[in-house]
Structure formats: C-alpha cells, structure tokens
Amino acid sequence: MRYNITRDYIDRGNSRPGTSNNSIQFIVSHDTGNAGSTAYANRNYFDSVQPSASAHTFIDDNYILEIIPLDEIAYHVRYNVSTDDRLYGADANDAAIGVELCWGGSINFDEAYKRYVWYHAYLLDRFGLDPDEDIVAHSTLDPTRRRDPQNALQRYGISWNQFLADVKQSYQNIFVDGQEMADDTPSVRGVSVELPLGIGDEGQFVREVQQELIQAGFPLPRFGADGVYGEETETAVMRFQRRYGLVVDGLVGPNTLRKLNDVLGSSNPSNEFPLANGILRSGDEGTGVRQLQRVLKQVNFDPGAIDGIYGPKTADAVRRFQSMYAALATDSIYGPNTRRYLRMELADQS
C-alpha cells in the first residue's frame, strides 16, 4: 500500500523556527496524547497558537500530514534531556524526524496505524536509516515525563516491539523487496482551514469538529456532521462554550478547540479501553482481539498473552466472564451483548 503525503506547512513562529536541521540520523515516534485530536486539528492548533513545541508530521485515519518541512528542525523532544545525545550523538530536535500518531475519539485506529507504520518505513528509505537501530520512542528519550507512543499503542493491544516489527516488515516488503522508492511517493498540497471556524466555512475539518460536538453531547439533529458550518453548528458551539465557561461567540478558535478535545479525552471511557464492534471467536486474529484481551485482563479475567490471537485461553476468559451474567450466553463468542457488559464492568471500576 502506498499513501499520499499531504504537505501543509504552518507559518514560521515559535512552533516552526525555520532553522535547517542536521542530516537526519533517526526517527522519534510520538502520539498526540490527546484522544480524538486529528491531524488537521493539531496542524491548526500549532499554526494559530504557536507554542514552543511541534513535530514534523501528524497521522490520522485520513492524512499523513507534514506541517514542518523535513529539512527544518521541530521542537518535539526537550533539549535538556540527554538520552538522545547518548544514543545517537545528536539532539533529536536537530537530527531526527518527529512523527505523531493521532488516536481515539472518532479516529479509525486501524487506518491511522497503517499509515503510521508505512510512514516510518518511508522515512527509513528516504533517509537511509537502519530499521533495527534508528527508531526510538519518545518515552525512551524522556522517561520521567512521557509515555508515548506506547500511551496510544497499548490501548489497542499493540506493544512497542510489535510496532517495530510491523515497520520492519513494511519497509522490507515495500521499499526493499517491492523496490519502491521513497522519492517517488505522491505528495499533495493541503488546503488548510484557518481558525477560527465560523459561519460559511466548509470541509473535512468542519466535519471533524461537528463529529466531536456530537460526541461531547451537543447534537446536530437537522444536518449532522455535513462539513458545513451553518447556524445549527454555531448554536451547538455556543451551547458548548456556555457550558464550559468560554467566551460565547459561536466561533471555534484555539481555546474552544482545545476544550473540546479535553472534554472528549476525559469523558469517553472508550479512549482508555477501546473495544471492537462486531463478532470475534476462536481462530480470529488482529487488533480487535488484542483490544478484547486487554479489557479482559483489566476486569480480572486473564486471557493469557495479549497477542491478538483468539486462542483457547482467550475463549475461556470470555466464557468465564459471560457466566457472571444470566443475560449472556456462555458460548465463548464476543459479540454486541458481551461488549456491552464488558463496558459496564469497566464503568464500575472507574
């Protein structure tokens, strides 16, 4: 699979100093730490607010979005930590590409993860890096303050080692055996939407904001998430702003966007322990099984290894959980009813 790379650079400022970096020596893997915050939501935040922090690339289920040119520095690791210098002989901001995984909320994790893995493989090929040595987690460089990207990956049952194995396999299959070249990867020019959003704005970012409003409990019954910022959306934004003590102007600026992301991150239990929809049974494999195994372990029904394989131990853990509830058939099959009771069990723990 080859993906497009969207290049939509933020303006120069605190987040993008415009300084050329040294030759790229490694990749730092991050996650945004903010459930439901999309690639373009992050792009517009950094462009508008211009904090003294940034990353080169944000990836969700729709975009691989480069917001800072790869030949410029980005502030994605603290300068006063020394692990990067010890491991690579250089500071991460000056000699590494920072890649952020967007997750949670309405983001389809499987699609975001595929792009995240592919983009790491792309960077390995583009900069001639070693897949065994030249990818490092932000948590490794700054362990006292950061847990990413494991913060996001582990919510979906993916270990750091599994992620590295997936990147290595993608690199081997696409850029080595497949003989594709990173320099031939299609790139497209992004069309950013400037904050604040207001009446008359349209597009994907407006649709994302509408979806987040609905998730936060501010419905749009007439038009839904149609990507058009009309009066219904303005009214919902004003209600949201009034509820959370913001300036009530009906515009989605940095403060409203940040609060919306905070509310979703703190109020949606699926951000912490997501569970797949559909049906899973013995013999199935994949992300949905890993999610199920992680939740079973959390509610004290040991599924064995969290390996994404619906084997005998996982099936037995499901059966034992189902036996607690008269309304559930003890058939060892995970379906909508078992999912609902697992969510109830998680809620009781909170």
Report the pLDDT value the prediction gives residue 269, as an integer from 0 to 100: 45
What average pLDDT score do residues 77-81 get?
Answer: 91
Amino acid sitting at position 102? C
In angstroms, the Cα distances linking 348 to 216, 241, 292, 300, 323 are 21, 30, 17, 13, 18
| Ranges of each domain in the chain | 5-189, 204-268, 287-349
Band of residue 270 on the pLDDT scale cut at 50, 70, 90: very low
Tokens standing for residue 304: 């064995």
User: Are 58 and 128 within 8 A, CB to CB?
Assistant: no
> What is the third-level CATH fold of 287-349?
Muramoyl-pentapeptide Carboxypeptidase; domain 1 (1.10.101)
CB burial string 197-209: b at 16+ within 10 A, e below? bbeebeeebbbbb
Report the pLDDT value the prediction gives residue 327, as an integer from 0 to 100: 82
Report the pLDDT value the prediction gives residue 266, as an integer from 0 to 100: 57
Report the pLDDT value the prediction gives residue 272, as an integer from 0 to 100: 61
Q: pLDDT digits over 27-58, tens only?
A: 999 999 887 888 988 898 888 888 889 999 99
Q: pLDDT digits over 106-147, tens only?
A: 788 999 999 999 999 999 999 999 999 999 999 999 998 889
Give percent above pLDDT 90 in the chain.
Answer: 61
Q: pLDDT digits over 282-336, tens only?
A: 999 988 899 899 899 888 899 998 888 999 999 999 999 998 888 889 999 999 8
In angstroms, the Cα distances linking 154 to 162, 169, 187, 293 are 10, 20, 30, 11
* DSSP letters spanning 110-152: HHHHHHHHHHHHHHHHHHT--TTTSEEEHHHHSTTT--TTHHH
Same fold, 204-268 and 287-349: yes
> What is the third-level CATH fold of 204-268?
Muramoyl-pentapeptide Carboxypeptidase; domain 1 (1.10.101)
Higher pLDDT, 272 or 216: 216
Higher pLDDT, 347 or 163: 163
Q: pLDDT digits over 316-331, tens only?
A: 999 999 988 888 899 9
Q: pLDDT digits over 236-249, tens only?
A: 999 999 999 999 99
> What is the third-level CATH fold of 5-189?
Lysozyme-like (3.40.80)
Phi, psi at 189, each rounded to 5°: -85, 120
